[in-house]
Structure 1
Amino acid sequence: MSTMLVDEERAVATDARITHTVVPTPLGPTTLVAHDGRLSALLMPSSKYAEVQGPFGERDDDGFDEVRTQLEEYFAGTRTAFDLPLALVGTTFQVRVWQGLLTIPYGQTWSYGELAEAVGLDPRTSSRAVGAANGRNRIAIVVPCHRVIGADGTLTGFAAGLDRKRFLLDLEQGTPDLLF
């Protein structure tokens, strides 16, 4: 998986070609956005941060074939890791946290403290900042922010809602409850 950092403050000003499409998923119609062919957002219905994602660019239903295929495989239970070019649009700290998310194995969960430790931070002083960065992840599912839970094992925030987070975690355990 190759990644490209797109500076959040200049993402709109770049001359990158930004495109989008909408694909059906078990979680509802999901918007995919790309910067120069690299996935930069995967937004589920009711995503808390959808309005601050930046421009979606022109619609290009043909430019997302590989993303669509890999998502279908993931939801069918035959794909446990994504291999897509990504454009991580965020601050340096956010990108560091998102890269840490990519190391959480399929079917496992980590606490915010464990994620902080995995990216070289002191979990006693940085768990909150890590949680905030996790919550701003624009590429849900592919960059698996749903795999982060509270230290006590409880489900905590998810931009598209805790019911969708539960669905994704159950899917990875082989026990999805089709609610959508």
Structure 2
Amino acid sequence: MLLALLLVGQFALPRVAEDVVRDRLGNDEVEQVEVDALPAVELLWRHADRVSARVRSYDAQANDVADDIAQTAGVQQLDVRIERVRAAAGLELRDVLVEKRDGVLHGSAVLDPGQLAAALPAGVEGELVPRADGAVVVDARIAGAPVRLRVEVVDGRVVARPEGLLGLLTSYTLFADPRIDVERVSAEPGADGRVLLRAQARVR
């Protein structure tokens, strides 16, 4: 009897887990999901050997992105590809890839820098300036005053701070979650004037 239950669970539990992943990513936009675990009973404790998904679009405004990332803590190998992510303030990321290997999350996405300018609040102008060394720099004008902002990782958080002395006194947190330690962010020149964004993080 126990053997029969284990065999049933081995086939049934991954299908249940795949339905959960589809629901979190948005059923209508998910093209493919695969969840592997051996034994499958690991899934009851939110552990999986491998999770892969192909998604047409994901609405980051309607979902808790940090919570979705934190849910990958028990996944050994992760491969998620999303064609389009609707981000905050109308920004749209393309060709989003999230991978996990050896406990480290790697993410990349393509951004049209013109969208950043359109998404800024009134009175603020800004241009993302990708560099060959990957530094994330934004040339901005706030109330007409020029300021160069550098996006950096500080103690697992992503912050923006002005260059120079002012940056020692003030900063603005762009992302922070106690479950996620961001280790690195970068912006590199991409094709057709677009920008390739990269990030690396660990889930606690």
Q: Same-fold call, TM > 0.5?
A: no
- Bigger-Rg structure (1/2): 2
TM-score of the two chains, using structure 1 as the length reference: 0.31
Of structures 1 and 2, the one scoring higher in RCO (CA 8 A, sep 6+) is: 1
Return the structure number with greater strand share: 2
TM-score of the two chains, using structure 2 as the length reference: 0.29
